Each structure stands twice: as structure tokens, then as C-alpha cells.
A = this chain, B = another copy of it.
Amino acid sequence: MDEPLSIVLFSGTDDRLTSASVFAAGSAVLGRPVRILLQYWGLEAFRADRIGRARGLAADADAEGGPMLAAALEAGQINWADTLRQSKELGEVEIHACSQSMDILKLEQADLDPLVDGVEGIAGFLAAAGDGQLLFI
């Protein structure tokens, strides 16, 4: 359990971002390191000029619970960026942008929210994951 929990954050919808943030928080509570790699839509969500805005829900949102989850997100009961900030205070949580995604989206680190600690390639991320678990969200 001293291996990190590694999360590939591929998605950029509020429900999946929230899910990733609560897994980071839960792992931090257990004293276990967390490493997050931001890919494609997940990276887009961490742009400094857009991190606060609503991003919709995943395609599963047409279930009847959709409005209720959407309302909870809007009412600020859940704010994934805040949950990640708190997780960083609670434990060892590192967030890296995927270097290939940075190239595709023509981003530089200055374009990203300070939550992002740096840029990392896929092989580096996998090597740092060691034998720890991976989640693709």
C-alpha cells in the first residue's frame, strides 16, 4: 500500500472530474501517494482561464438522477478543483500534464492552473506508477 494510486484523467466532464477528485482525496486520507496524469479533455479542464466553469456531465447523464447530480455540482456542494486542492494539503498528490496532450492542444505550463505540478510523458508516468494501481477516468 505504499505504492502510489495513479490516475489517468482523460475525461473533462464535471462528473468524471469529481470522481477523480474524490479518489485522490480518499487515497490521501489513507496516507497513500496519488499521481494524476492529465490527458486530452482532462488536461483541457485544467486551463487556468477555464478551470472554474461548468463542463457538463458524461453521456450517462440522461438517467433520472442527472438533474440531481447536476444541481449538487452547480450548488457548489461539490467542486472538484477544491477537492484536489484540499487533497494536496492532506497528503502527497501530484498532478502532471501529459506531454503529448500539451503538444496537441498547443499549451504551455503557464496556461495551466497552479494545481498542475509539471509535464510528464506516458512512459515516465507508467514507470513512476511502479506496481501501484491504475485508474483510467
Contact = CB atoms under 8 A, between A and B. Distances in A.
Nearest to A13: B60
A129 B133 contact: yes
* Residue with the greatest number of chain B CB neighbours at <10 A, chosen from A26, A62, A106: A26
Contact of A26 (B16, B55, B68, B121): B121
A112 interface: no
A135 B129 CA distance: 13
Interface in A70-94: 72, 77-78
A51 interface: no
A16 B8 CA distance: 12
Contacts of A19: 8, 10, 39-40, 136
Q: What is the predominant secondary structure among interface residues of chain A facing chain B? A: mixed
Given A22-B122, A23-B122, A45-B63, A136 B137 contact: yes
A23 B39 CA distance: 11
A12 interface: yes
A30 B127 contact: yes
A134 B134 contact: yes
Given A78-B104, A129-B133, A59 B62 contact: no
Nearest to A58: B59
